[in-house]
Amino acid sequence: MTEARTFTEQDPIRVFLLDDHEVVRRGVSDLLDSEPDISVVGDAENCAHALVRAPAVRPHVAVLDVRLPDGDGITVCRELRDRMPELAVLMLTSFDEEDALLDAIMAGASGYVLKQIKGSDLVSAVRTVASGQSMLDPATTARLMRSLRAEPAQAPAEAPELAGLSPREREILALIGDGLTNREIGKKLYLSEKTVKNHISRLLAKLGVQRRVQAAVLATHLEQPEPSGDRPAR
């Protein structure tokens, strides 16, 4: 097991914030900056700015709002983790939604907490995800797990769509179901990220879904594909 990283005043947790409300950003920034082992190194008010600014400051943890004027924090989470696989992401939202939690998990988020959280608990959550552990809202997670346990009853209706996938698309769908990012899928299958994105676009169209997380749910009904080999295709 990998040993949890320890942060200190000399080597603090570097945090990036994304929220469209300036008051929220300032409040969270002041709260976190008051801790000796945490330093807020940057912030953004929208998705476009976050995707430019966050990689430049190399944070250990990104605290991202879910709903934003020009997109959503879950997409930002996926894209930032594609660029920085070691980044821990904590989703901070006002909305207690099962779909958003599942999306966040599939995007690689380490934590999902509500904005009603106490300040001291938010500080603890940042430290938890920075150390490599998971921090998910217990009540929302419990409901999500109950709904997923009921999902297999829908499997027969999905069989025709799954049957139409090519062997490569079935491989990629299975890896999406395992929670891998595009970059991780590319490394595993010796494909470029662009090729992976193209495969995913085609398989989503074949499955008749628009969101990656919907494909991930279908992947739970997918028989294990035959491996296409550990070497790149010639």
Domain boundaries, the chain: 13-136, 153-219
Is 17's pLDDT higher than 60? yes
Query: If you classify domain 153-219 with CATH, what class do you get?
Result: mainly alpha
Is 156's pLDDT higher than 50? no
Is 98's pLDDT higher than 80? no
The pTM assigned to this predicted structure is: 0.66
Strand blocks (E) in 127-183 = 135-136
Q: In this structure, what token pair is assigned to residue 7?
A: 């942060």
8 A C-beta contact, residue 76 and residue 50: yes
The mean predicted confidence, pLDDT, of the chain is: 82
**The domain at 13-136 falls in which architecture?**
3-Layer(aba) Sandwich (3.40)
Q: Which residues contact 140 (CB under 8 A, 6 or more apart)?
A: 96, 97, 98, 101, 112, 114
For residues 222 and 199, give the distance between their C-alpha atoms in angstroms, rounded to a whole number.
17
Q: Which residues contact 1 (CB under 8 A, 6 or more apart)?
A: none
CA proximity to 172, closest of 143, 146, 207: 207
